[in-house]
Amino acid sequence: MDASASTPAEGVRAPARNGDVRVVIIGAGFGGLETIKGLAKAPLTVTIVDRKNHHCFQPLLYQVATAALSPADIAWPIRKLVRDQKNAYVVMAGVTGIDRLAQRVLTDSIALPYDYLVVAAGATHSYFGRDDWESSAPGLKTLGDATDIRARILRAFEKAEITDAEATRRKLMTFVIIGGGPTGVEMAGAIAEIAKKTLLGDFRRFAPAESRIVLVEAGPRLLPAFPESLARYAERSLTRMGVEVLTAEAVVEVDAHGVTTAKQRIEAGTIIWAAGVAASPAADWLDAAHDRSGRVIVEHDLSLPGVPNIFVIGDTATVKTASGAPVPGIAPAAKQMGQFVAKTIAARVAGKQSAPRFTYRHYGDLATIGRTSAIVNLKGVRLTGFPGWLFWSVAHIYYLIGTRNRFVVAFDWLWNYITFQRGARLISP
């Protein structure tokens, strides 16, 4: 984009009020939203820019991918979330770069000048250098990914119904999920439920319950972020639900017809990638140092080394706790970073001292395993099974943003729980 095209916008984005400080936030995920909300009362202009028009509650994406919820149930227009915040502007545009010299964010439409910049651009899938695997094994980061995976799963069953070749049907009825973290565990459990409960009686020429669902993890056990006892519980639960759990088994090849691990070949009609996460291209935009996953290395106050007016937060940054452990890539961590950075910017604009160091508080870890079971690890409290699921449900409904969405999601879950049905079994859109 040439500079002249962006000049008029600059005039508008930076209102003429004297002394007005311009903050630009890239990304309306958990981190970006907390930042803009934290700046609501500060005397500055905050512009949040996102490729999408909506914030997506990513922890429930797997429920959209498995037809339990509709996309709109877990998404909110960004504008609606900040409509009452007078100093907030929302721009729907794709970021293409950052001009650090001129202090502006470049997008596919206008340029956004900033005095402070907060990069909260999230993460995407990483195929460990094998990007050619993506078309066969899509990952789950956006609502588009979720409806795509939903269509793949449902279409596999439709194709299995009309094929006459037994080998083809076996392949179509095989689902491989790569990666044994929370997303992989949740997807495997939900697909098992679809095959063994939801679709019961829907097909005439094969039994969906005979589907093979394989969860492959390269590490020695599932859910490395959880204590071993809970991970073992999850593994036992999945096995009881009919999921084959393969641990210590690295995937060496993925293609349109299946997965090859170090030990075997699995022909599969549907493959889902839940293994690797890579940061957004923010390190490139900023020309900044980063770790192997592309996450930007930041100072203790989350600013870019040597650039005190640029902050990088959430999955886009690599941050250590006081004990030296990495801060996990989960929603509460991104929110805490957003709150911290908002306070820092507000303090600096007010000429006050800001806190020199971000401190992460870990409240716990949650993961569901199917319809009525979950594992919960809070400080000193471990829940499994139905009590875990109840806690998980209440926590997730509590954190869902809109009142309407809380009702609809709660209703859909209750419905699913009573009937085993899934309300959103649509192959596109």
Nearer to a copy of itself, 53 or 309 (CB): 53
Does the footprint of a copy of itself cover residue 428 (CB under 8 A)?
A: yes
Site string for a copy of itself, 371-410 (x = CB under 8 A): -------------------------------x-xx-xx--
Residue of 298, 324, 325, 305 whose CA lies nearest to 314: 298
CA angle 133-232-379, nearest 5°? 105
Does the footprint of a copy of itself cover residue 31 (CB under 8 A)?
A: no
Nearer to a copy of itself, 15 or 387 (CB): 15
Does the footprint of a copy of itself cover residue 204 (CB under 8 A)?
A: yes
DSSP strand pairing (88-92 vs 44-50): parallel
Nearer to a copy of itself, 17 or 352 (CB): 17
Site string for a copy of itself, 135-174 (x = CB under 8 A): --------xx-xxx-----xx--xx-xx-x----------
Residue type, 358: F
Binding segment (CB under 8 A) for a copy of itself, from list 120-128, 200-208, 214-222, 380-388 = 200-208
Q: Which single residue is written with the structure tokens 């500079």?
A: 3
- Quote the CA–CA distance of 192 and 177 in Å, as a whole number: 11
Residue of 93, 278, 347, 395 that binds a copy of itself (CB under 8 A): 93
Does the footprint of a copy of itself cover residue 110 (CB under 8 A)?
A: yes
- Quote the CA–CA distance of 160 and 342 in Å, as a whole number: 52
Does the footprint of a copy of itself cover residue 8 (CB under 8 A)?
A: yes
Binding segment (CB under 8 A) for a copy of itself, from list 7-15, 179-187, 273-281, 322-330 = 7-15
217 is annotated as an active-site residue: no
In the sheet where 307-312 sits, what is the strand order? 88-92, 44-50, 21-26, 116-119, 307-312, 303-304
What's the closest the beta carbon of residue 424 comes to a copy of itself, in angstroms?
4
- Determine how many CB atoms are found less than 10 A away from the CB of residue 91: 18
Q: From the candidates 34, 186, 193, 217, give the one annotated as an active-site residue.
A: 186
Sequence-ordered list of residues with C-beta below 8 angstroms from that of 63, at least 6 positions apart, any chain: 69, 74, 190
Does the footprint of a copy of itself cover residue 270 (CB under 8 A)?
A: no
What's the closest the beta carbon of residue 92 comes to a copy of itself, in angstroms?
4
What's the closest the beta carbon of residue 26 comes to a copy of itself, in angstroms?
15
Binning the chain into helix, strand and coil, the percentages to the nearest 5 are 35, 25, 40
Partners of 112 in the beta sheet?
Answer: 105
Secondary structure letter of residue 209 according to DSSP: G
Does the footprint of a copy of itself cover residue 105 (CB under 8 A)?
A: no
Structure tokens given for 6: 């962006």
CA 143, 144, 150, 152: dihedral to nearest 10 degrees?
Answer: -160
Nearer to a copy of itself, 325 or 414 (CB): 414
- The answer to whether 275 and 179 are in contact (CB under 8 A) is yes
CA atoms within 13 A of residue 302's CA, in its CB half-sphere: 33
Q: Which whole-number Å values give the CA distances from 242 to 238, 263, 349, in the listed order? A: 6, 21, 57
Residues in binding contact with a copy of itself, number by CB under 8 A: 58
- Determine how many CB atoms are found less than 10 A away from the CB of residue 255: 14
What's the closest the beta carbon of residue 48 comes to a copy of itself, in angstroms?
12
Does the footprint of a copy of itself cover residue 89 (CB under 8 A)?
A: yes
Catalytic positions are: 186
Binding site for a copy of itself (CB under 8 A): 8-9, 12, 52-54, 70-73, 75, 77, 79-80, 83-84, 89-93, 109-110, 143-144, 146-148, 154-155, 158-159, 161-162, 164, 199, 201-205, 402, 404-405, 407-408, 411-412, 415, 419, 421, 423-429
